[in-house]
Amino acid sequence: MPRIAGVDVPDRKKIYYALQYIHGIGPKFAADLLAEAQINPDTKANELTDQQVAQLNGIVDSNFLVEGALRRQVQQNIQRLRDIRSYRGERHRNGLPTRGQRTRCNARTRKGRKKTVAGKKGVKG
């Protein structure tokens, strides 16, 4: 299993898809990375030579923010929004969607499981 940017990538997949297992590398960056290293995207990850793996590691380390550093930066950005008490920071704090989605009938991913509230059931007036 080749180790790129501190991550064990799956060795039986094509290197184009295996690189996308690294947090911070998506389809575009994977294609750019392979083009810069002059590696065929159809090559399986376990078929890479040690020299090619080292080359990919060097490119990733110098040009991309990945894994722990990227996660840390994202968390710092969210914390900054919370600290300045911006609207988006308040939405993060309350566990609600931050990008303008409606919450009346959806947003279960952010809000979590339904919390049933006792209502006015059977009250005649």
CATH number of the 68-111 domain: 4.10.910.10
State the chain's mean pLDDT as an integer: 91
Q: How far is CA 29 from the centre of its chain?
A: 13
Torsion over CA of 24, 26, 30 and 33, rounded to 10 degrees? -40
Task: Encode pLDDT of 61-115 as tens digits.
Answer: 998 899 899 999 999 999 999 999 999 999 999 999 999 999 988 899 999 998 8
Q: How far apart are CA 36 and CA 60, in angstroms?
A: 11
| Percent above pLDDT 90 for the chain | 73
| Percent above pLDDT 70 for the chain | 95
**Does domain 3-63 sit in CATH 1.10.10.10?**
no
Least confident of 38-42, 43-47, 54-58, 116-120: 116-120
3-state secondary structure of 4: strand
Strands (E), the chain: 3-4, 7-8
**All structural domains of the chain with their residue ranges:** 3-63, 68-111
**Residue 22, Cβ neighbours under 10 Å: how many?**
21
* Residues 6+ away with beta carbon under 8 Å from 11: 1, 2, 18, 44, 45, 46
